[in-house]
Structure 1
């Protein structure tokens, strides 16, 4: 843009008609950017099929009009607040992502969403201000022609001087950061993460086998064979279809266990459901499980339709979605159109580090009221005060949590 629209060659005195065109174009582009900020959603395909490119073009138009000395929009947008933010905009750009990632990984933001939004904004502005005052502005004013002389003078300064202390501290920080970046493994996982990944793979295999009748029969046979050893091992980590084992593990009656074995069930969901696949199959041995990591409502309609076309959508359908992003009513309506007149058991979510937790749970409550055949299973209320049921991400259940999850699911279905 600097080559095709050089501000030094643009005239301040231009015809009123040209000024009017520039001002209308600038205001229109600004309004379009505001609308894009409000309505453009990363859940939809539009941003990835030209939407982001269009926003870039509109932004370029706004910058071009603002840079023109003959347009009025530059004067309209000039004020102390914008000037302050403009000087620190690069710092805001650099620090916003790490601040949000670190903050939301440690703080439960689902409740009091706007409070945490303002706290994060405050932290971003604080980091940007410190960076501007102590890094960007000093470096901008630094006389680089005297760099070598300043370095030599630094070595002769007293050890307890401010300049010496700042220099040593800066060197230590840079050295540690450089070493850390150099030796840090790219795909390192701790023991808990490795264990969780192994469990996910094992449950994914079990879910895939649930769609194959022959493999499922073999799985049931192996589970029955393992029941003799069930009482001698940790019951949480032992999987068996033995009636006494299932009754004790999931706090079910013998009648409930018997009815569960004759219940046609399809469970469809994300990684929270996936992690509980083997638990669900203990209670519902013939259940068909279709779950995957990162699954959301907006990409589930086609997957459910495939299950339906393959004859794998049973009379009772469990939906366990909403942990990975915002859901809306239209998306849920599309799912219900595919499911038809089947019974739906809708599991709500517990994602305390994400803003969409409460919004999705409110939507699911609304959907239970809207559809007579939908039964809401309130996993959130049961689990929210039991942090010990969850892994460090506070979303995926541990052995204890998966048993509680499955027990709640079974009791609601068999009620």
Structure 2
């Protein structure tokens, strides 16, 4: 299939814009509604595979043409490709934060500096939040880690190519790169820690495999040496390989989650291999896939995919912060957000990206002089300077020694405290389980217990507005509580009321993580008679997921589930509708309407509108305790 032709005039492969479109659509849908396309984050490996292939191909083409890599001009082109739009989004985002959302100024100097130096991904490992945390005061800069990875690639790749050119056979260089890709994937699997994926998700070494696989393809599959005359059989073979790659990538888009162990144990590597196969087919003139991935919409989006990618997350974060009712109208709000992203990206493409890529910087002095002759340019210049000034002001407003956000510190502290109480609760549960039968509807024992409430218990009872009977009931109610960051936030209040409550909470947890936890607890005999869930903060909850969890729990345990209150997230109503439908089907499932109680009380929440403050914690715990106590006292 690979002809032995001399290098010919470069073809513009429009299908590559189609691949970029598939990548950026995946990322945007994932950010708008992560559980509706859990593998949308895999759009990033598509970008990386394309970067590895195209950069390596053009460098090898230069070498084959005149035995020079033109490193200076290569770096210049790459820098002017990345920097203008990157600087624009950094300045515009920081200016907005300075004016409207100063809580996000934490670490702003380091964020700007590491982005400009292309080392932001390493800063994120130590200081950033997980890419998959959707309810912890998201940073509008998180997604920029990929630009740092690409920047590092551009800087070191000419040196790597010089070494690889020492091999006499191109397949040998390709094999070396594939060995490096496998080593990178193995390192990801070895370093993977499900409690914090930042090291392997953001690390250059653990994400290099996508770049290396794409680069290896360039050595053995250069697009200018591929013959169009491949014969009918090979034509169909190429198309079939492309179809298999697309089906495989689509399957991973729909099924692979960023919380799946498999994603880090080879899943992302396999996806990158599939993306590389699709690249190989798209660039081959004997295949139909270039034509199939070419249309006006894909071409438009693909050419602007860089700008769309860098602007999409700030738009979403700021929009979600300002519009508190996204959960009630998710589709309309998603359309509005996409429209804003496209408008900003188009303006950036026309007035930042394209002009500065081709700008002759030696004319900077004269152009600044001529600026005064054009009123329109004066206005544009004034706006740009204003943004820069606001950025500088924002950098001065942040603390000299940035600290973790108050919310993150609070939840971390409560998580540590919950773990301490869990050890005591596990021991207490055994005693409670023995007492449950004895206390059940035994009025004498209950009356004696009411009389013997301690001073601390009476104080807690008043604090959470419970009756003495409620308090006694809760003292003899063992409970396993499983949830996300909101569960950690309220863990102290729950464990005050339920001394036998074992709390298993995790920041960023989604519903697909709950099933394995429940199954493990059930199999090991650690699941108590009462199971309490608060899940739905970070993504959708499906009927099948709930059914699988309830099957593992069994019909003889009581299940209590709070409705989700995430008004500025698109999945709120979907989660609550699913839970209501499932509660009607199962007599042992009891719904606790946190959404109904909270929607009229914004004063119960921190600035993100999702996590309860101290008042909200008490209201949450009181609602849960009262609901469970009443159910047990029937």
- SS of 1:391's partner is coil
Structure of higher RCO (CA pairs closer than 8 Å, 6+ residues apart): 2
- SS of 2:258's partner is coil
- SS of 2:362's partner is helix
Q: How many residues align?
A: 388
Distance apart, 1:325 and its partner CA: 3.0
**The one of 393, 402, 407 aligned to 2:622:** 407
Q: Does 1:315 align with 2:532?
A: no
**The one of 524, 538, 548 aligned to 1:324:** 538
Alignment deviations for residues 185-231 of structure 1 (CA, whole Å, 9 cap, x no partner): 685345566556545544554445433559x9xxxxxxxxxxxxxxx
Q: 1:160 to 1:249 in 2, by over 3 A?
A: same
Q: Does 1:48 align with 2:256?
A: no
**The one of 583, 598, 608 aligned to 1:383:** 598
Distance apart, 1:129 and its partner CA: 0.3
Distance apart, 1:353 and its partner CA: 2.6
What is the alpha-carbon distance in structure 2 between the residues aligned to residue 74 and residue 390 of structure 1?
51
Distance apart, 1:132 and its partner CA: 0.8
* Aligned 8 A contact 2:245 2:274 in 1: yes
Q: Does 1:134 align with 2:351?
A: yes
Larger Rg: 1
Q: Does 1:69 align with 2:282?
A: no
* Aligned 8 A contact 2:415 2:505 in 1: no
What is the alpha-carbon distance in structure 2 between the residues aligned to residue 157 and residue 304 of structure 1?
66
What is the alpha-carbon distance in structure 2 between the residues aligned to residue 164 and residue 104 of structure 1?
33
**The one of 15, 37, 47 aligned to 2:231:** 15
What are the residue-to-residue correspondences of 1:231-250 with 2, within 5 Å?
A: 241-243=456-458, 245-250=459-464
* Aligned 8 A contact 1:65 1:73 in 2: yes
**The one of 60, 66, 75 aligned to 2:276:** 60
Q: 1:291 to 1:383 in 2, by over 3 A?
A: same
What is the alpha-carbon distance in structure 2 between the residues aligned to residue 295 and residue 30 of structure 1?
29
Question: TM-score, normalising length from structure 2?
Answer: 0.53
- SS of 2:618's partner is helix
Q: 1:200 to 1:387 in 2, by over 3 A?
A: farther
Deviates more, 1:150-159 or 1:181-190: 181-190
Alignment deviations for residues 46-90 of structure 1 (CA, whole Å, 9 cap, x no partner): 433333223322322323322223333333433322222222122
Superposition RMSD on alpha carbons, in Å?
3.6
Distance apart, 1:381 and its partner CA: 1.6
Equivalent in the alignment of 1:233: none
Q: 1:95 to 1:208 in 2, by over 3 A?
A: farther
* Aligned 8 A contact 2:426 2:500 in 1: no
Q: Give the gaps of 5 or more residues in structure 1.
A: 217-238
- SS of 2:540's partner is coil
Distance apart, 1:339 and its partner CA: 3.3
Q: Give the gaps of 5 or more residues in structure 2.
A: 1-52, 58-217, 432-453
Question: TM-score, normalising length from structure 1?
Answer: 0.78
* Aligned 8 A contact 2:422 2:501 in 1: no
Equivalent in the alignment of 2:109: none
Q: Which of the pair is proportionally richer in helix?
A: 2
Equivalent in the alignment of 2:585: 370
What is the alpha-carbon distance in structure 2 between the residues aligned to residue 127 and residue 337 of structure 1?
48
* Aligned 8 A contact 2:410 2:489 in 1: no
* Aligned 8 A contact 1:322 1:349 in 2: yes
What is the alpha-carbon distance in structure 2 between the residues aligned to residue 287 and residue 400 of structure 1?
21
